[in-house]
Amino acid sequence: MRFAVPAPASISLAILVLTLAVASAQRHLRERETSSSSYLTKEEHWMNQTIDHFSPYDRDQFAQRYYEYLDEFRSHDSPIFLKICGESVCNGISNDYLGVLAKKFGAAVVSLEHRYYGKSYPFGSFSTDNLRYLSSKQALFDLAVFRQYYQESLNEKLNKSTDNPWFVFGISYAGALSAWFRLKFPHLTCGSLASSGVVLAVYNFTKFDEQVGESAGAECKAVLQEITSLVEQRLESNQKDLKKLFNASKLSKDGDFLYFLADAAVTAIQYGDPDELCDPLTKAKKAGEDLVEAYAKYVKEYYIDYIGADVETYDQQHLKKAKISDSSSDRLWWFQVCTEVAYFQVAPANDSIRSSKVDTRYHLDLCKNVFGNDMSGPDVNATNLYYGGKEIAGSKIIFTNGSQDPWRHASKQTSSRDMPAYIIKCHNCGHGSDMRGCPQSRLVPKGDSKNCSSPDAVNKVRQNIITYIDQWLSECQFSGVTAM
């Protein structure tokens, strides 16, 4: 077990007072993030968190990392924006569109690292048994406990008794957590934004591949399908040289190799970079060039060198490693996939892009091989029963999705009472475009929309987001929420 560390004061009173004074005088208003401008802050803070929120007996704790950004915090009763970190290392608070919103609303921004990911792990290894407390349900309670911990710390330092109005934000899986947090803890937040929030657990996610084809366009889709066919043929005749061509010799299982190749194409589409994928491939087709070699060039130059994909993370032997390392996030996310949400990206029966060998059996075999034979597979029915899937019965949740994003089919795309839903339509509007801009594979500071093929489409949705946040914060403040 990893021992908890004493939780230091979450806010320096001197810094806070200075921040408020400056703000009062001057203001009236995952995933590469490598430069300092990519973050609002990278300064770490820690709190003690309960390992198992559902046990009446076990009160063991672990140290959980979080961040706070107070530069825009206007006054003692200004909003607090909680940005949820998802299924990866959380190195700070990204300088995306949330920073713009924080300035507009005079809000503080805080962000909690997801349990097990990054530095917030409860045990000294990621053995399958030690992963038993890794779930969305535990993560939601982490957020609730953190919300109360931070609010109480703030109240004590500012000598006040009423809560600030809180609003929750998240993208992708964190977007689902944002929606689920509002659903399960409506008394702790005035509202939520679920950007590309994948609230529907899907067993056979064939619509994912179908959307990749639609987003790529007919010409590019046909080339990708031809490449898949050629790759399958060469796997039968010259497997060693083929994998070497893609710098993927370490992927001994053909299924892992084919999944890696499919993911390489998905990434460009998903994160708003379709031309990086399609332009060189369609040109190679018209020029009569070797399409497999053209695709290998794209995979190595764009997916591996530019995006930073690690081929080893597709290797099931690597995923089996329980030792904690910088690449452990892949094992952790696969555990959540294999137990809760599935999202199995399988080839449709007809007209697929990815190889038909990437099927349900491939995913289930991976779950057993990586986590043990007792792993029976994800219970998506239980997950959707617990949260409601696309029929989520929440309120004051904004759902946003990019038109080209294959993940949107696991999100809520139709507005319902008190839960507006928007699809941002443009050529390169993908995963989290409302918060990250276009493309999303390289973070643009402040989530600038100017590189989107239709910036007006992004900005219109952003204006709607602002309207709802303003309305719901006002209603929340009027209700007189008090500290528990």
CB hemisphere CA count around 38 (13 angstroms): 12
CB hemisphere CA count around 46 (13 angstroms): 14
Q: Which listed residue (111, 363, 431, 441) is catalytic?
A: 431
The answer to whether 395 touches 419, Cβ cutoff 8 Å, is yes
Q: How far is Cα 218 from Cα 209, in angstroms, rounded to an integer?
A: 14
Q: How far is Cα 77 from Cα 477, in angstroms, rounded to an integer?
A: 9
Q: Which listed residue (38, 78, 172, 215) is catalytic?
A: 172
Torsion from C-alpha of 363, 366, 371, 376, nearest 10 degrees: 40
Among residues 447, 471, 337, 456, the alpha carbon closest in space to that of 103 is found at 447
Q: Which listed residue (142, 263, 405, 434) is catalytic?
A: 405
Among residues 379, 386, 339, the alpha carbon closest in space to that of 180 is found at 386
Alpha helix positions (H), 249-406: 254-270, 274-286, 291-298, 316-319, 328-336, 360-371, 380-387
Q: Give how far Cα 221 sits from Cα of 87, 277, 350, Å.
A: 29, 11, 13
State residue 75 phi and psi, 5-degree precision. Answer: -150, 175
Q: How far is Cα 428 from Cα 432, in angstroms, rounded to an integer?
A: 11
The answer to whether 64 touches 143, Cβ cutoff 8 Å, is no
Q: Is 172 a catalytic residue?
A: yes
**How does DSSP assign 42-66, residue by residue?**
---EEEEEES-TT-SS---EEEEEE
Q: Is 405 a catalytic residue?
A: yes
Please give the positions annotated as active site.
172, 405, 431
